[in-house]
Amino acid sequence: MGRLYDGCQKISDYIDRNGLDVFKTRGAVAMKTGFLITLVTPDDPDDPAKIQSLKDAAREVLGIELDI
């Protein structure tokens, strides 16, 4: 699995574990990243810009630091 995919999975797991509104939270992340985390697959390339936008979105939307 790639770093981008791992990061998306970590965000999805965080949303589920904390009982957050799935649609609102994923939508807020998508607005920050420019892509839907649910559409990222293990085969997607690890684009450094996407990885950074995912880290930024996790920090801004969820208040967490992604270790990917």
pTM, rounded to two decimals? 0.93
Q: Give, in order, the Cα–Cα distances in Å from 6 to each of 16, 29, 54, 57.
A: 15, 15, 11, 15
Angstrom distance (rounded) from CA 50 to CA 19: 25
| Domain boundaries of the chain, sorted by first residue | 3-62
Q: Are the C-beta atoms of residues 63 and 20 closer than 8 Å to each other?
A: no
- Give per-residue pLDDT as tens, 21-51: 999 999 999 999 999 999 999 999 999 999 9
User: Mean pLDDT score of the chain, rounded to an integer?
Assistant: 97
Beta strands in the chain (DSSP E): none
* pLDDT(11) > 80: yes
Burial of 52 (0-12, 13-18, 19+ CB in 10 A): exposed
